A and B are shown apart, each in its own frame.
Chain A
Amino acid sequence: MSEVKIRSGNELVVEGAIAAGCKIFGGYPITPSSEIAEGMARELPKVDGLFIQMEDELAAMGAVIGASLGGKKVLTATSGPGFSLKQENLGVAMIAEVPVVIVNVMRGGPSTGLPTRGAQGDVMQARWGTHGDHPVIALAPAFPEEVFTTTIEAFNLAEKYMTPVILLLDEIVGHSHEPVELPKEGEYEIINRKYPDKVEDLAIYKREMGEPPLRPDFFMGYPIHVESLEHSDQGYPNTVPENVEVQQKRRLLKIENHKNEIIKYKTHFTDDAELVIFAFGSMARSALEAIKLLREEGIKVGLFQPITIWPFPEEQLKDVVKDRDTLVVELNWGQLIYEVERVLKDNKVHSLLKMTGMAITPNEIIDKIKEIKNA
């Protein structure tokens, strides 16, 4: 008997986090992500976890990083304004290579903007929000079941690569209540961070170039030091240029070298498509609806739906699109389109970009496709 439940995206993030083994949530109320905090406050105590509402979003970010260093799987969730506040502390998780999952349920920006309206305008902030060069993993689910599995994926990637992972929803994905049937326990993989058998000379950051560090957590018997300054192999402050180069490259290559294992994407109707739409999150759903309607009229369009936004799926996009025209549909005035244009520099890249507080509807996409066809 299939177990179909009605869940919102925010609720599915909670279920995914609990399924992934998250034990501590640090949060702060903000529309449209508060339901995640509320859900975690309800569910964590049942699994011997702990919920804390901190005094602001950057305090929540600090708390979850501290808890992760204490050995727990952690989560924090917010929206645009809170995501901006978290950036500095997010940088600590980047430089010290600490697994932490940050959900950003995107809303209309900038500033207070459109708190109750969906948007996709934080995509570049997810990539470059915190200062300096740093690796980033950002995932964007669209469909209900994907929200659950991508949340688990976010925890797995954080634990595997010892890095923060950003989960980008938008208000539409977060607040839409829909029937969903979730995989059962055991049907999805859970990855936990690996620990070294023994630690030589406390060199907790020393490893093959491009590999994640094998580092004990706090209180595991090694007096380890975790530093927000650039650090040496042992983690002590060290700004010697040769060392800086090694540490910076290790962190950047740790994601770069494993891009193809990290990157996930879906294609819909792309085999015989004359034009491929590029859309993620809620816009992928609009696009898919438009595609089905267009096909009824004999207009063959396909969809490339990235689940992994960063690192950007360059090879994958080229393989799928080849030399066909592309239409980028984004709920902002143009952000990921720059990546698509860079990657598909020989193709014709059309755009349907809008952030007015309302979703771009299938009909708008259909009109755009017809406009492109007749042009």
Chain B
Amino acid sequence: MLDYEKYLRYRTFPVPWCPGCGIGMIFKAVAMTFSKLEWEPNDIAVVSGIGCSGRLSTYFNTNSLHTTHGRALTFATGVKLSNPDKHVVVFSGDGDALAIGGNHFIHACRRNLNMKMVVINNNIYGMTGGQVSPTTPTGFISTTTPYGNTEPHFNTVELAKAAGATYVARETVNRPRQLLKVLEKAFKHTGFAVVEVISNCHINLGRRNKLKHPIPMLDWINQQTIPIAKAKDMSEDELELKYVVGEFVHRHRPDYFEVYENKVVKKAKGE
């Protein structure tokens, strides 16, 4: 668990994110999970999209690929198809995964390839300077909602569950130990696993909503965080702006390649 440095591409350090940005913390949690599961760097491909989280692939000392905005999952699908026995982990932000990448997100969930997806949700387009995203809380100010966001937002977990993902969990950057637990379960799971991590963007979201320092932003996230057990007996309205954390889905569906091998290749070869 602690020998995570072999997954860090030190030659590209220091990491580029703003002081206190949650992405670095998630990066370490994933590296620690790789270390715990003893995955060899050469057996891992880290694929990331565009945005603050998109820069992650550069800093992992594994096979890594920085793709186009919203399309990380499509490239990752190809990497996995060509090497079914290797580990493919995709990093994507809320904009990258749920706005421009939404179509690929639901299809990846449906297809259930054995890939892992970490959705780093800081509720804003950070890289481009603070525009509203599909998860920005209603009422929040952003550069493209100067009068307050009026649109409703996605529930990433429900979206993944409905689309067919077979492991779905949500955690926040305030809870590293719990995050490590769900990451380990997600990475060990056979099938498409989605872990949404609520992260703090105090520079682009917080600054325009009276939370301009990492600590108040993290505290705000903490106040919105409700463990799944407690949330069970809360109403929809009560849960409106809340982040329910824990494991939501853990079910089994046949592995994509087993089915392709048995149902397609065998038939094609007339076996």
Q: Is A218 an interface residue (CB 8 A)?
A: yes
Q: Is A348 an interface residue (CB 8 A)?
A: no
- Let me know if B74 and A62 touch, CB within 8 A: yes
Which B residues touch A222, using CB under 8 A?
42
Most chain-B CB neighbours within 10 Å: which of A66, A69, A228?
A: A66
- Let me know if A45 and B9 touch, CB within 8 A: no
The A interface is mostly helix, strand or loop, or mixed, namely mixed
- Let me know if B66 and A55 touch, CB within 8 A: no
- Let me know if B269 and A67 touch, CB within 8 A: no
Q: How far is the CB of B56 from chain A (nearest CB, A)?
A: 11
Q: Is B143 an interface residue (CB 8 A)?
A: no
Which B residues touch A61, using CB under 8 A?
74
| Count of residues in B whose CB is under 8 Å from the partner chain | 43
A229 to B16, CA, bound (A): 15
Q: Is A369 an interface residue (CB 8 A)?
A: no
- Let me know if B78 and A63 touch, CB within 8 A: yes
Interface string of A211-251 (1 = CB under 8 A from B): 00000001111111111110000101100000000000000
Interface string of B57-86 (1 = CB under 8 A from A): 110111111111001011111111111001
- Let me know if A66 and B65 touch, CB within 8 A: yes
- Let me know if A50 and B81 touch, CB within 8 A: yes
Which A residues touch B78, using CB under 8 A?
24, 26, 62-70, 74
Which B residues touch A62, using CB under 8 A?
67-68, 71, 73-75, 77-78
A65 to B79, CA, bound (A): 8
Q: Is A272 an interface residue (CB 8 A)?
A: no
- Let me know if A56 and B103 touch, CB within 8 A: yes
A165 to B234, CA, bound (A): 57
A48 to B260, CA, bound (A): 11
A59 to B108, CA, bound (A): 11
Q: Is A273 an interface residue (CB 8 A)?
A: no
Q: Is A194 an interface residue (CB 8 A)?
A: no
- Let me know if A66 and B79 touch, CB within 8 A: yes
Q: Is A342 an interface residue (CB 8 A)?
A: no
- Let me know if A54 and B74 touch, CB within 8 A: yes
A222 to B9, CA, bound (A): 12
A residues with CB within 8 A of B? 23-24, 26, 42, 45-46, 48, 50, 52, 54-56, 58-72, 74, 88-89, 91-92, 218-229, 234, 236-237
For the complex with contacts A69-B75, A92-B68, 4 further pairs of A-B residues with Cβ separation under 8 Å are: A63-B77, A67-B81, A69-B78, A225-B9
B residues with CB within 8 A of A? 9, 11-12, 41-43, 45, 47, 50, 55, 57-58, 60-68, 71, 73-83, 86, 103-104, 107, 260, 264-265, 267-269
A-B contact pairs, 24 of them (CB 8 A): A24-B82, A42-B268, A45-B267, A45-B269, A46-B268, A46-B269, A50-B260, A52-B81, A54-B77, A59-B74, A70-B78, A70-B86, A88-B71, A92-B67, A92-B68, A92-B75, A218-B65, A219-B43, A223-B41, A223-B63, A225-B9, A225-B64, A228-B68, A236-B58
